[in-house]
């Protein structure tokens, strides 16, 4: 298979012109980009590629001519020339002129990338170890915020389940944006530096804790666009993908409205007591999304401590809540109080206290979480 792929890559790169390069499986060129800026960047990339290719062919042609015709075994007598100021000046100036030719389109594209004016929608993107938080900023302060976690299961990653089509590239809750609308991204991070990249949108911006970077996009076609974190951000750097759904304006408005009512419902739910089964079921879902990467699918531990049989999960509820809500300073255990809803926090604490043979029988209600947060 490998030699076939090598051969295919060679043949394709030699014979086929740029625009038809993209292969579904073994793509060998940059994504063309669905946005205007993406297309410009792709054009720039191909322009410079071809300039390099032409120079490369010329330079290597001269070199291989020498290798073939100026070899000692042909009995040639070596020339002894070794200097020419004229030639040196020529091959200093010509490359310089070529560079100016590259710099002009590069500059105009760069200015376009930096033009974040007149955006209709602002989305605050915050990088966390190892997930993204998207917050849709609202002028009235009615923001919608949610976390976007890796949807690929630990079983797929550790090869016990078959890997799905979007292995490592799908999330539980994607970012949703309307098409034909200029969307501005405000990019920052909560802990270490991350970088938010979606190749087909040609947007890559570092997410730096304490600083806010800007980027923008305007997607003309509906679709799902995927990307990944591109700045090393710790152990699970490879496991925090990005999924952007570009939808029609109507669909977007409906989605946002649904998100708002979900928020209201959550606040209401936090007032109610839930049944054990219900808490365990949603607790398991939360555990798989938020906890299992570090604490193990069966609570056996990993980067984080084991949950099964742990002193915290078997000890006082208040201490357990404290760790879940505030995290453990100086370790990878983050403060989840601001990341999970009170209902989800109650569910996952209940789940941890009753799963993996921890059978404490404790039920933690959303109200307990609220009370704990209020001290």
Partner 1 sequence: MGAHHGPAKGMSRWLLTTNHKDIGTMYLWFSFAMFILGGAFAMVIRAELFQPGMQLVEPGFFNQMTTLHGLVMVFGAIMPSFVGLANWMIPMMIGAPDMALPRMNNWSFWILPPSFLMLASTLFMEGGAPAFGWTFYAPLSTTYAPPSVTFFIFAIHILGVSSIMGSINIIATVMNMRAPGMSYMKMPLFVWTWLITAFLLVAVMPVLAGAVTMMLMDIHFGTSFFSAAGGGDPVLFQHVFWFFGHPEVYIIILPAFGVVSQIIPAFSRKPLFGYASMVYATASIALLSFIVWAHHMYTVGMPVAGELFFMYATMLIAVPTGVKVFNWITTMWRGALSFETPMLFCLGFLVLFTLGGFTGLMLSIAPADFQYHDTYFVVAHFHYVMVAGAVFSMTAAVYYWIPKWTGRMYSESMGRIHFWVSFIGFNIAFFPQHFVGLAGMPRRIPDYSLQFADFNMMSSIGAFIYGASQLLFLYNVIVTIVAGEKVGEDKIWDGAEGLEWTVPCPAPYHTFEVPPKIDAVSAHA
List binders of partner 1 among 132-171 (CB under 8 A).
Answer: 156-159, 163, 165-169
The nearer residue to partner 1, 42 or 252, going by C-beta atoms, is: 42
CB atoms within 10 A of CB 12: 15
Tell me the chain's radius of gyration from C-alpha atoms: 28
Encoded tokens for 211: 């600083």
Q: Mask of contacts with partner 1, 248-287, x by CB under 8 A?
A: ----------------------------------------
Contact partners, residue 185, CB within 8 Å, separation at least 6: 123, 125, 196, 203, 205, 214, 215, 216, 217
Number of residues this chain uses to bind partner 1 (CB under 8 A): 103
The nearer residue to partner 1, 105 or 262, going by C-beta atoms, is: 105
The nearer residue to partner 1, 2 or 17, going by C-beta atoms, is: 2
Where in 285-324 is the site for partner 1 (CB under 8 A)? Answer: 302-303
What is the distance between the alpha carbons of residues 349 and 284, in angstroms, rounded to a whole number? 10
Instruction: Give min distance, CB of 245 to partner 1, in A.
Output: 18
Cβ(324)–Cβ(336) below 8 Å = yes
- Of 51-59, 248-256, 313-321, 348-356, the window that binds partner 1 (rule: CB under 8 A) is 51-59
Where in 55-84 is the site for partner 1 (CB under 8 A)? Answer: 55-56, 59-60, 62-63, 66-67, 70-73, 76-84
328 lies in the binding site for partner 1 (CB under 8 A): no
Encoded tokens for 345: 């926090």
- Of 232-240, 271-279, 315-323, 358-366, the window that binds partner 1 (rule: CB under 8 A) is 232-240
Where in 336-365 is the site for partner 1 (CB under 8 A)? Answer: none
* Backbone torsions φ then ψ of 178, nearest 5 degrees: -80, 150
Considering only 39, 121, 135, 204, the residue that binds partner 1 (CB under 8 A) is 204
11 lies in the binding site for partner 1 (CB under 8 A): no
Alpha helices in 168-275 (DSSP H): 249-269
First vs last Cα of the chain: how many Å apart? 62
Helix (H, G, I), strand (E, B) or coil at 181: coil
Instruction: Give min distance, CB of 342 to partner 1, in A.
Output: 27
Instruction: Give min distance, CB of 150 to partner 1, in A.
Output: 11
203 lies in the binding site for partner 1 (CB under 8 A): yes
Instruction: Give min distance, CB of 369 to partner 1, in A.
Output: 27
375 lies in the binding site for partner 1 (CB under 8 A): no
86 lies in the binding site for partner 1 (CB under 8 A): no
What is the distance between the alpha carbons of residues 305 and 299, in angstroms, rounded to a whole number? 8
Listed as own residue / partner, the contacts of 325-330 with beta carbons closer than 8 Å and 24 or more positions apart are 325/369, 325/372, 325/373
| CA nearest to 113, candidates 35, 57, 181 | 35
Considering only 7, 16, 57, 99, the residue that binds partner 1 (CB under 8 A) is 99
Cβ(226)–Cβ(165) below 8 Å = no
Considering only 143, 153, 181, 213, the residue that binds partner 1 (CB under 8 A) is 213
Sign of the four-CA dihedral 160, 163, 169, 172? negative
Sheet containing strand 183-189, strands side by side: 144-148, 131-136, 121-128, 183-189, 213-217
178 lies in the binding site for partner 1 (CB under 8 A): no
Considering only 11, 211, 268, 300, the residue that binds partner 1 (CB under 8 A) is 211
Considering only 16, 19, 27, 249, the residue that binds partner 1 (CB under 8 A) is 27
């Amino acid at each position: 298979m490998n030699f076939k792929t090598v051969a295919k890559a060679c043949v394709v790169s030699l014979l086929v012109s740029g625009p038809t390069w993209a292969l579904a499986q073994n793509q060998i060129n940059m994504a063309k980009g669905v946005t205007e800026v993406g297309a410009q960047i792709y054009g720039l990339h191909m322009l410079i590629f071809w300039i390099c290719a032409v120079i490369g062919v010329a330079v290597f042609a001269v070199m291989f001519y020498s290798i073939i015709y100026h070899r000692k075994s042909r009995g040639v007598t070596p020339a002894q020339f070794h200097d020419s100021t004229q030639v040196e000046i020529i091959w200093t100036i010509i490359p310089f002129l070529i560079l100016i030719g590259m710099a002009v389109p590069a500059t105009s594209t760069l200015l376009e990338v930096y033009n974040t004016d007149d955006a209709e929608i602002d989305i605050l993107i915050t990088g966390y170890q190892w997930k993204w938080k998207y917050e849709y900023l609202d002028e009235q302060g009615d923001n919608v915020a949610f976390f976007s976690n890796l949807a690929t299961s630990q079983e797929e990653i550790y090869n016990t389940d078959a890997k799905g089509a979007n292995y490592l590239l799908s999330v539980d809750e994607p970012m949703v944006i309307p098409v034909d609308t200029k969307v501005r991204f405000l990019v920052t991070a909560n802990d270490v530096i991350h970088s938010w990249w979606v190749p087909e949108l040609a947007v890559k911006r570092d997410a730096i804790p304490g600083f806010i970077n800007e980027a923008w996009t305007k997607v003309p076609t509906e679709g799902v666009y995927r990307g990944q974190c591109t700045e090393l951000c710790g152990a699970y750097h490879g496991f925090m993908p990005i999924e952007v759904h570009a939808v029609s304006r109507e669909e977007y408005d409906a989605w946002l409205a649904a998100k708002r009512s979900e928020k209201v419902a959550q606040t209401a739910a936090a007032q109610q007591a839930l049944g054990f089964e219900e808490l365990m079921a949603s607790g398991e879902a939360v555990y798989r999304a938020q906890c299992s990467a570090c604490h193990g699918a069966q609570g056996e531990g990993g980067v984080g401590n084991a949950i099964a049989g742990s002193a915290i999960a078997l000890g006082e509820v208040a201490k357990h809540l404290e760790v879940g809500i505030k995290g453990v300073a100086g370790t990878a255990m983050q403060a989840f109080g601001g990341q999970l809803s009170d209902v989800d926090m109650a569910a996952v604490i209940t789940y941890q206290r009753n799963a993996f043979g921890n059978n404490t029988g404790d039920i933690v209600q959303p109200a307990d979480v609220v009370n704990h947060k209020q001290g």
